[in-house]
Amino acid sequence: MPTVSKGDGMRGLAVFISDIRNCKSKEAEVKRINKELANIRSKFKGDKALDGYSKKKYVCKLLFIFLLGHDIDFGHMEAVNLLSSNKYTEKQIGYLFISVLVNSNSDLIRLINNGIKNDLLSRNPTFMNLALHCIANVGSREMAEAFAFEIPSILVAGDTMDSVKQSAALCLLRLNRTSPDLVPMGEWTARVVHLLNDQHLGVVTAATSLITTLAQKSPDDFKTSISLAVARLSRIVTSASIDLQDYTYYFVAAPWLSVKLLRLLQCYPPPEDAALRSRLTECLETILNKAQEPPKSKKVQHSNAKNAVLFEAISLIIHHDSEPTLLVRACNQLGQFLQHRETNLRYLALESMCTLASSEFSHEAVKTHIETVINALKTERDVSVRQRAVDLLYAMCDRSNAKQIVAEMLSYLETADYSIREEIVLKVAILAEKYAVDYTWYVDTVLNLIRVAGDYVSEEVWYRVIQIVINRDDVQGYAAKTVFEALQAPACHENLVKVGGYILGEFGNLIAGDSRSSPLVQFNLLHSKFHLCSVPTRALLLSAYIKFINLFPEVKATIQDVLRSDSQLRNADVELQQRAVEYLKLSCIASTDILATVLEEMPPFPERESSILAKLKRKKGPGKLPDIDENRRNVNGSTEHSENTDTTNKCSPSLLEDLLPTDRPRPSSSSPVILAARTMASTHPFTDVLNLNSTPSTGPNLLVDVFSDSSSPASVDVSEDNFSRFVCKNNGVIYENQLLQIGLKSEYRQNLGRIYVFFGNKTSTQFLSFSSFVTSSDILKSQLNVHTKTVDPIIEGGAQVQQILNIECVSDFIDAPVLSIQFRYGGALQNIAVKLPVMLNKFFQPTEMTSQDFFQRWKQLGAPQQEVQKIFKAKHPMDTDVAKAKILGFGVALLEGVDPNPANFVGAGVIHTKSTQVGCLLRLEPNDQAQMFRLTLRTSRESVSQRLCELLSEQF
């Protein structure tokens, strides 16, 4: 047997562990474990009551087995029993087992809470610490409910031991993070702040963590902590290291506490009080000075601890952003680190400088290090360091150095690691656009991007170049010439073909004067790439061709021949075939004027946030992208067109407009082209030159969720609380809990519908890995098509994001689709499922008709299976106006003067499905005295009558 264990070795445990280690195969291990499990189970079930030691040993074995990765489904009770043992070690193992294995919704929580309660009341500090640790480890709501009131009093009580105070502070911090609503602020808050003055540095450290978190949430309540924190910090940085005894770490005075205090101060602006402010400035200067002193030890621990404090001080200086001298000193210090032999320091210096670059005081100072940073890009061995260098170059870029930085990034791109190429492409594209003085440089840069890293150039990037070329007539001729030249290369990337096709289709005429790029040459050049391209690109090229027919009548015949060929007209791809057919026909029958109107040059795109920037933000995650747009204005002396249009609350475009394809850069809706297309009342692709939405994008998360059985949507209770409230209305809140609010806005037209789902993050914390998708039962899938657009995986605290669902009703249906939402909040995975209020009546179109017509049809629908009738008691007060509103909301026309009894309601409408239309008549007769209704529905289809009757009768 190997190493003798210390303390009370549990010999059986050591033997077991050693057995497991000797297992030659996974199978042998499983066998050994199963044998052990059987043994333990029989011991636990046996008649003889187990003594504490055995119980402890077996519980510990179970824990070991669990930590090896095996499931454990018993022993919890025995572990809970150990909590009430008087022996410390038994209690300790019991608590350890519970901390590791008990999840927050265990049935045992009440028993565990009982054990904890006893230990908290025991006044034995070691027992109290175990109990507090357990609360912090499990951190469940039930525990918060049980103890959130007690812990503050333990924390501030005068006679509490220091070690218990530390545990209580951190336990309270944990509960505040998991269940903030259950941790009441109270008179204890003021007393907590005074723990910053405590004699015991361990207590101060723990309290500072707690206060920092509380201050982030309610800064005003903890303002008094500023002066105490500055005083404490000042005493630490000026102390001789000996003073702090064991809190000195490798000759650095209390580094953990210093960093925590500096972090606490970052919750606030610079102190207003002048004396306090200068005392803090002194502290920061002292920390900066110490960095220049010779090290007191050669150990890396010394330099790490010292520099940890230094970096935190620099963070505070950057956060305050008010002392130019400190900022410049910080920048110089980081500049030294840029060339340090420690990789860690170079990495951190690059990272910190990114934030410094966004301060107007230090931006220029950061820029002086450009050569070092470029050198880092070229010479660093570690890709994560090179990535930080890319980030810093991006952050320090302005008009003066844009050309140099873009050139360096482009040349680095050729050899960059695959994992970061896409990000670099986005950054180059953004910088090139932002700092373009002349747009010829911009066009060259993006074409270079496509040449060097075509596979990593996302749609957003090449859409953007097209938007810009279309919006700036000074660059159109140059762009046409450049893409024409670039297309000459024998092998060029498909993205270049796309850009080339689009630009020549719009502006090929600008270079057609030169015989070397005559219309025919242009066309032949484009068409030589056609067969190598994917379907979407070919579709785009076809649109370019029809544009050519308009621009250059002389190539009309050639192009018509191409369109007429079997490979186009009979293409297996329906989109290509349709385009070929329609374009050919258009070119044959339309007059020159009509052709010129339909195929007019694209109107300018409305200015909005660069979609590339949005993409980069998504990629990097919020907060990680130095904001090159906003902060630095004063320094650059330039205010470029503001790009921060708020897209989240953009009003939803009308349904009709959106029946046109959307996933592409779209010209403003007033464009004549769109109008032309609208009058044709179809979704013909004339305007949809890019037509990339032919394959609706399914959420990327969907696949993952289909294949992973973790937290499958089926296991979540589907909320249908508000479902019936949406029968007669289209907008409102469908779901709400403490974290999330889900609102809906819906529009329906004939058999199509669109739902805008708004997800509101009610907390101040990000939701991560957010995904939302729609599931339907198998039957429903054939009756109702639902297309979901993906949503951002991150929802910022307090923010709202929108998701669009497109719905098509194929035939009448009963079920409703379910919206499944998943996200991570504070580390915990949240699953929510909501029944979506898509009901058959949503596809009603109201029908007005005369009394005569109504009765004629009523009689026609007289077969017994066509009529459904229900007599029911009123659930709500009977009010005529309310009833009218509900019937209208249900979707039918309310017909006045049809029923001889004016108290009755009569309605008519048509349900539109893709396969058929179902006419529907209804009559609602209220009986005020009996508080009853009689509802009669007649439709041509039994299933429709049934369903509509069910839906409507629930509403009264």
Partner 1 sequence: MMRFLLLFSRQGKLRLQKWFTPIPEREKKKIIREMTSLVLARQPRSCNFLHWKDLKIIYKRYASLYFCLAIENQENELLALEVIHRYVELLDKYFGNVCELDIIFNFEKAYFILDEFLMGGEIQETSKQIVNRCIESSDMLQEDDSSEWYEVELFG
Least distance CB 184 / partner 1 (angstroms): 19
Angle at 452 (CA atoms; ends 446, 456), nearest 5 degrees: 80
Q: Which is nearer to partner 1, 137 or 189 (CB)?
A: 137
Closest CA to 797 of 757, 745, 740, 734: 740
Least distance CB 211 / partner 1 (angstroms): 12
Least distance CB 213 / partner 1 (angstroms): 8
Is 58 annotated in a binding site? The answer is yes
Q: Which is nearer to partner 1, 145 or 494 (CB)?
A: 145
Q: Which is nearer to partner 1, 38 or 656 (CB)?
A: 38
What's the helix, strand, coil split of the chain in %, to 5? 55, 10, 30
Least distance CB 389 / partner 1 (angstroms): 12
Is 859 annotated in a binding site? The answer is no
Answer whether 800's CB lies under 8 Å from 758's CB. yes
Alpha carbon distance 639, 439 (integer Å) = 17
Q: Which is nearer to partner 1, 200 or 870 (CB)?
A: 200
- Provide the greatest CA pair distance for the chain: 103
Q: Which is nearer to partner 1, 201 or 887 (CB)?
A: 201
Three-state DSSP class for 834? strand
Least distance CB 190 / partner 1 (angstroms): 22
Q: Which is nearer to partner 1, 308 or 580 (CB)?
A: 308
Q: Which residues contact 100 (CB under 8 A, 6 or more apart)?
A: 63, 66, 67
Q: Which is nearer to partner 1, 126 or 722 (CB)?
A: 126
In this structure, what are the phi and psi dihedrals at residue 927, rounded to the nearest 5 degrees?
-125, 100
Q: Which residues contact 449 (CB under 8 A, 6 or more apart)?
A: 410, 413, 425, 428, 429, 457, 461
Q: Which is nearer to partner 1, 310 or 546 (CB)?
A: 310
Answer whether 752's CB lies under 8 Å from 658's CB. no
Q: Which is nearer to partner 1, 308 or 413 (CB)?
A: 308
Three-state DSSP class for 66? helix
Three-state DSSP class for 624? coil
Alpha carbon distance 369, 581 (integer Å) = 60
Alpha carbon distance 479, 476 (integer Å) = 5
Least distance CB 593 / partner 1 (angstroms): 57
Is 439 annotated in a binding site? The answer is no
β-strand pairing of 818-825 with 828-835: antiparallel
Q: Which is nearer to partner 1, 175 or 413 (CB)?
A: 175
Alpha carbon distance 866, 945 (integer Å) = 7
Least distance CB 387 / partner 1 (angstroms): 8
State which amino acid sits at residue 855.
Answer: F
Q: How far is CA 495 from CA 179, 502, 616, 790, in A?
A: 50, 11, 19, 23
Q: Which is nearer to partner 1, 61 or 464 (CB)?
A: 61
Is 60 annotated in a binding site? The answer is yes
Least distance CB 123 / partner 1 (angstroms): 16
Q: Which is nearer to partner 1, 247 or 890 (CB)?
A: 247
Q: What is the DSSP letter of 795?
A: B
Alpha carbon distance 253, 880 (integer Å) = 79
Least distance CB 131 / partner 1 (angstroms): 12
State which amino acid sits at residue 950.
Answer: E
Pull the structure tokens for residue 182.
């259950």
Is 498 annotated in a binding site? The answer is no
Least distance CB 342 / partner 1 (angstroms): 8
β-strand pairing of 718-719 with 828-835: parallel
Q: Which is nearer to partner 1, 300 or 437 (CB)?
A: 300
Q: Which is nearer to partner 1, 202 or 477 (CB)?
A: 202
Q: How far apart are the first and last CA of the chain?
A: 78
Is 59 annotated in a binding site? The answer is yes
Alpha carbon distance 576, 598 (integer Å) = 19
Least distance CB 50 / partner 1 (angstroms): 10
Least distance CB 745 / partner 1 (angstroms): 31
Pull the structure tokens for residue 619.
């990629």
Three-state DSSP class for 1? coil
Three-state DSSP class for 127? helix
Least distance CB 334 / partner 1 (angstroms): 14
Least distance CB 369 / partner 1 (angstroms): 18
Alpha carbon distance 338, 401 (integer Å) = 19
Residue count of the chain, please give it.
Answer: 956
Q: How far is CA 519 from CA 108, 236, 389, 474, in A?
A: 80, 78, 46, 21
Is 756 annotated in a binding site? The answer is no
**DSSP-H helix ranges across 397-493:** 402-413, 418-434, 439-453, 459-471, 473-487
Pull the structure tokens for residue 159.
């006679």
Closest CA to 305 of 355, 258, 347, 349: 258
How buried is residue 439: exposed, middle or buried, by Cβ count under 10 Å (0-12/13-18/19+)? buried
Alpha carbon distance 369, 383 (integer Å) = 20
Alpha carbon distance 924, 906 (integer Å) = 6
Q: Which is nearer to partner 1, 620 or 884 (CB)?
A: 620
Least distance CB 774 / partner 1 (angstroms): 24
- Measured N-to-C along each axis, helices 494-507 and 459-471 cross at an angle, to the nearest 10 degrees, of 20
| Residues of the binding site | 11-12, 43, 53, 57-61
